[in-house]
Amino acid sequence: MIKMNRVALAVLAVLGTGTVMAQSNVTLYGRINTTIERQEIGNTNVNKMENNSSRWGIRGVEDLGGGLKAGFVLESGFASDTGMGSSSTGALTFGRQSEVNLSGNFGKVRLGNFFPGSYFATADYVSMHNHDTGSSSDALYFDPVWFASGLGTANKISYTTPSFGGLTVEGSVSMHEKASTLAKKKNGYDLAANYNLGALALGAGYSQFDADKQLALRAAYTFGQFVVGGYYQRNDEELRGTRNNFRLSGMYTLGASEFHANVGHANAWSRVGDSGATQWTLGYNYNLSKRTKVYGYYTKVDNKSGASYMTGVKGADFSSFALGVRHAF
């Protein structure tokens, strides 16, 4: 109760400084995304309500003159099905994103906690139907830096170049800070590139932690009411060996309706037997407005006997039929 009261007081303090917020260009934003689902995990069926990465945040920017700007982002996840925070204690934290940045003609420098640019340049870019959230999120993409225990997305410094004819490049370092949870005291490295050529959008991402690394390439093309895209990922790890992973996705829009389909396949790790898997999703979204949509989808992950994507149980498959509402503010 004490923690929640402190959060409430902090929010009231922010909302109570309307004049300061207006002068500093501070914005409150977020989204609530919730589904009702019928899931099957192995041979077990369950009806449940799911949170799909709901979040709220505060971001701001100050013009320092001469083209230089200072900014910040504070973003907190929460469980829309229970109202609890995303941390293990249930408290609201800014664990999703907490950064300060400087930008100008030279590009942009960021300090803090934020998701890797390589992910946004590849896997997230083609996850169109529910923005890579919830039970239909991409189960096969894997980043060794993001999922390194004790490293994750925190303690990062990144630099993003200005646009050169549609090309931007971002590089970042995740500092290990001699974390006790890391067996090897190594920094993590991430590199992302995005190149937009009108209807064609290209991307690439590379990340590495110690001897574990991944490289991914992405393309998306828009023609009329259709958008098609996909990515290819190559993983190379010390323990599990190598693996190839790809995903193809497509969207067709008709008025307020969106029709979605995607399929992904991960080959077996070279040192883990029968560890391949296939995931596919069919979805329909109806946009009630620019900020609100209702949607439904069916998703399925077929795991080989040595794979446990989405289930944590080797050989067990996963599927879900879901109906949801997504609102952004």
Q: What are the pLDDT digits (tens) for 251-291?
A: 999 999 999 999 999 999 999 999 999 999 999 999 999 99
Cα–Cα distance measured from residue 10 to residue 288, given in angstroms and rounded to the nearest whole number: 33
Cα–Cα distance measured from residue 319 to residue 135, given in angstroms and rounded to the nearest whole number: 8
Residue with tokens 């303090």: 13
Using left for φ > 0, alpha for ψ between -120 and 50, and beta otherwise, residue 42 falls in: left
CA distances from 16 to 5, 31, 65 (A): 16, 22, 27
Specify whether the CB–CB gap between 155 and 177 falls below 8 A: yes
Cα–Cα distance measured from residue 127 to residue 279, given in angstroms and rounded to the nearest whole number: 13
Report pTM. 0.89
Q: Side-chain half-sphere of 5: how many Cα atoms within 13 Å?
A: 2
Report pLDDT for 138.
98
Rg (C-alpha) for the chain, rounded Å, is: 21
Q: Over the stretch 146-164, which tens digit does the pLDDT of each residue have? A: 988 778 999 999 999 999 9
C-beta atoms surrounding 43 within 10 Å: 7
Cα–Cα distance measured from residue 234 to residue 218, given in angstroms and rounded to the nearest whole number: 12
* Ordered DSSP codes for 61-79: EEEEETTEEEEEEEEEEB-
> In percent, how much of the chain has pLDDT > 70?
91
Cα–Cα distance measured from residue 94 to residue 85, given in angstroms and rounded to the nearest whole number: 10
Report pLDDT for 2.
41
Report pLDDT for 231.
98
Q: Please report, in tens digits, the pLDDT of each residue of the chain (329 residues total).
A: 444 445 444 554 555 444 444 346 999 999 999 999 999 999 999 999 999 999 999 999 999 999 999 999 999 999 999 998 876 566 789 999 999 999 999 999 999 999 999 999 999 999 999 989 999 999 999 999 998 877 899 999 999 999 999 999 999 999 999 988 888 899 999 999 999 999 999 999 999 999 999 999 999 999 999 999 999 999 999 999 999 999 999 999 999 999 999 999 999 999 999 999 999 999 999 999 999 999 999 999 999 999 999 999 999 999 999 999 999 99
Cα–Cα distance measured from residue 35 to residue 55, given in angstroms and rounded to the nearest whole number: 15
